[in-house]
Amino acid sequence: MEALFEMVYGLMGALLPFEWIAHDFMKRAFIAIIFMAPAAAAVGIHVVNFRMSFFSDAISHSAFTGVAIGIVAGIDPVYTLVLFGLLVGGLIVKMRKKSDLSVDAIIGVAFSTSVALGIVIISAKRGLTRDLHSFIYGDLLAVTEGELALMFLLAAVVFLFSVFLYNRLILIAVSEEVSRTKGINTALYEYAFSMLLALVVCLSIRVVGILLVTAMIIIPATIGRTLSKSVGSLFWISTLTAIISSLGGLISSYYWDSSTGATVVLASAALFIAAQIVKAVRGY
Amino acid sequence: MTKSCEHAISISGLNVSVGDIILLEDVNAYIRCGETTAIIGPNGAGKTTLLSAMMGLIPYEGKIDFCMTGEHGGGAPRIGFVPQRIDFDRGMPVTVLDYLCLSQQKMPLWLGKKSDIKERSLSNLDRVAAAHLAERPLGKLSGGELQRVLLALAIMDEPDILLLDEPVSGVDMAGGELFCDLIDELHREKRFTLVLVSHDLSVVTSHADHVICINKTVQCQGKTVEVLTKETISRVYGLHVGIYEHGKCSHHYGDEK
């Protein structure tokens, strides 16, 4: 795999002869963001439609525990954080089906329990707080090649998902009842989508950190919603604004010497405000 | 629909319950092929539950048999369904045409709409007098317009059986009249089996050939004129209800309130 990455870096050096991308860590950051930003946005469209941003927040905060378990057990925290995120996501969906409690109450319980568990583990084991920092704020510039490979795989899965299931997910979002009469197994789609979202959230934590993951997922989709009038343009506007804001954020953070993840989110927030202004001026 | 099918749907010994609450108990009923059957009963009688069971959307005990010789060859018949209303996020950027294409097209809509599917969607919109709404966002439709769009969606697959849940409640009088006219026209043209759920007896008397009165279980069923007597109505609905007598014209949608 090392040889492959050497080749990719060489190619990028030739194609993008800019100062900001001269270092290998910037090349890795560039690759990470070029895969994860549109993947997060493509998933984010459905997160906004299904009103699942609180769910996404709960998964990202479960990373406190996921990372803590990994560090205590001596496993790479990226793996434990993904596994724990999937576990929490699965539990929430299951509880939602079985319980009379409202969704936000269930998520609230899962959310706080997993954060509390993480804090208990971390506080009992002194010296872990420092490792946790890179997960709370994100550490795009420290992304490893192994993580890049995971991100590439996930982006490919999200792409296939968007090709084959996009229409059906929108159909379900408009009316679950009507979709079921059209023979769509909506419960299966709900599970599959929730698990995919959990994966995207967990891997996006490396890019923007626990606190800002949900922003990375939903802001491009809210821009898409603001500016588009149809289902087709919703997809394009969301994913393209995600790419533009993440590249803008990455380059700005290099020159400002600021946190990359936060700068990326700020760039998309700026686009969000611009979209609102455009909409107000155009008046639809 | 082939002649050999007398009953499009035969229901026997149907029980539906949620926890301890019994919604339907020992329902035995049949829906005749190609005709219009109305399911009537008071609120909470299990009308919508019966529809959901027919569509296989809820678990039930008992048997629901479909006539397996639909117009589209053997196998299970196609069922179209128009719900009473849908609650959805009206801010979603989904146009009427988008919505119809979503249900038919495999290729994701962000790669464009296939011209044949687009044409078929437009012609179905035309059949329900909604062609002018094609580019309108779904969230900006009135109740009556949305109902016609849902009807267009339901008939996209050329169903053998069309189920309507409370077709005229929540729609103004003109909208209800238009909707019933459209249903009549489609029904004459396609001869599908039509099942409508209604608590509005005037709609039932002017449209249905057959009536099934339910209140947890079947109270009575048969030809509309034979079943809708004063005695059965007061048995099903309670004492103080009678049929509001309309004039002789064919469409009455019961907005007498």
Taking the Cβ of residue A177 and every Cβ of chain B, the question of whether any pair is shorter than 8 Å is answered with yes
Tell me the ipTM for this assembly: 0.86
Q: Which residues pair with B74 in a beta bridge?
A: B69
Residue of B nearest to A235 (CA): B110
**Contact check, Cβ <8 Å, B93/A234:** yes
| Residue A158 reports pLDDT greater than 50 | yes
Distance from the Cα of B246 to chain A's closest Cα (Å) equals: 34
When pLDDT is cut at 50, 70 and 90, the band that residue B227 belongs to is: confident
Lowest mean pLDDT among A64-68, A138-142, B56-60: A138-142
What is the DSSP code string of B171-238? S-HHHHHHHHHHHHHHHHHH--EEEEE-S-HHHHHHH-SEEEEEESEEEEEEEHHHH--HHHHHHHH-
pLDDT reported for residue B184: 86
Q: What pLDDT is recorded for position A48?
A: 95
Using the beta-carbon criterion (under 8 Å), do A231 and B110 form an inter-chain contact? yes
HEC-encoded secondary structure of A143-185: CCHHHHHHHHHHHHHHHHHHHHCHHHHHHHHHCHHHHHHCCCC
Contact yes or no for B88 and A173 at CB 8 A? yes
Using the CB atoms, write b or e for A122-143: b if 16+ within 10 Å. beeeeebeeebebbbbbbbbeb
Residue B2 has pLDDT above 60, yes or no: no
pLDDT in tens, A55-104: 999 999 998 899 888 888 888 888 899 999 999 999 999 998 888 888 88
Contact (Cβ atoms closer than 8 angstroms) between residue B189 and residue B17? no
- Contacts of residue A235 in chain B, CB cutoff 8 Å? 108-110
Q: Please write the tens of the pLDDT for every residue from B4-46.
A: 678 888 898 898 988 888 899 898 888 988 889 999 888 888 8
Q: Is A235 on the interface with B (CB under 8 A)?
A: yes
CB B183 within 8 A of CB B164: yes
Q: Quick check: A174 and B106 CB within 8 A? A: no
Buried b (16+ CB within 10 A) or exposed e, A8-20: ebeebeeeeeeee
Q: Is the pLDDT of residue B111 over 70?
A: yes
Q: Do A234 and B106 touch (CB under 8 A)?
A: no
Q: What is the per-residue pLDDT across B151-193, written as a single tens digit (0 to 9) for each?
A: 999 999 888 899 998 887 777 778 888 888 888 888 888 888 9
Provide CB contacts within 8 A for A177, sequence distance 6+.
Answer: B57, B83, B86
For the segment A32-60, what is each residue's pLDDT rounded down to a tens digit?
A: 999 999 999 999 999 999 999 999 999 99
Residues of B in contact with A170 (CB under 8 A): 92, 94, 98, 102, 109
Give this prediction's pTM.
0.87
Coil, helix or strand for B70? strand
**Look-up: residue for tokens 């009992």?**
A124
Q: CB distance from B51 to chain A under 8 Å?
A: no
| B112 and A CB contact within 8 Å | yes
Q: Which of A163, A224, A231 shows the shortest C-beta gap to B102?
A: A231
Of B216, B215, B214, B196, give the one whose Cα is nearest residue B206: B196
Q: Would you call B73 exposed, middle or buried from its count of C-beta atoms within 10 A (0-12, 13-18, 19+)? A: exposed
Query: What does chain A come to in residues?
Result: 284
Query: How many residues are there in chain B?
Result: 257
Instruction: Give the chain A residue nearest B78 (alpha carbons).
Output: A182
B109 touches chain A (CB under 8 A): yes
Q: Are B247 and B215 in contact (CB under 8 A)?
A: no
CA-nearest of A30, A109, B92 to A22 is A30
For B26, residues 6+ apart whose C-beta sits below 8 A from its C-beta are B13, B14, B15, B62, B217
Contacts of A177 in chain B (CB under 8 A): 57, 83, 86
User: Residue B191: which of B54, B71, B31, B29 has the closest Cα?
Assistant: B71
Mutate to test the interface with A, among B49, B84, B110 (most CBs of A within 10 A): B110
Touching B: A residues 211-230, CB under 8 Å: 224-225, 228-230
Q: Do B94 and A225 touch (CB under 8 A)?
A: no
- Rounded Cα gap, residues A155 and A143, in angstroms: 16
* Residue B92 to residue A230, Cβ atoms within 8 A: no
Closest-CA distance of chain B to residue A87, Å: 28
The sign of the torsion formed by the CA atoms of A209, A210, A215, A221 equals positive
For residue B75, the model assigns a pLDDT of 65
Q: What is the pLDDT of residue B248?
A: 38
- Mark yes or no for CB contact A182/B91 under 8 Å: no
Q: Is the pLDDT of residue B255 over 80?
A: no
A180: nearest CB among B57, B80, B95: B57
Q: Among positive and negative, which fits the CA dihedral B77, B82, B88, B93?
A: positive
Q: What residue type is A110 in one-letter code?
A: A
B91 contacts in chain A (CB < 8 Å): 225
Each residue's pLDDT tens digit, A233-261: 999 999 999 999 999 999 999 999 988 88
Mean pLDDT of B185-213: 85
pLDDT category at A13 given cuts 50, 70, 90 is confident
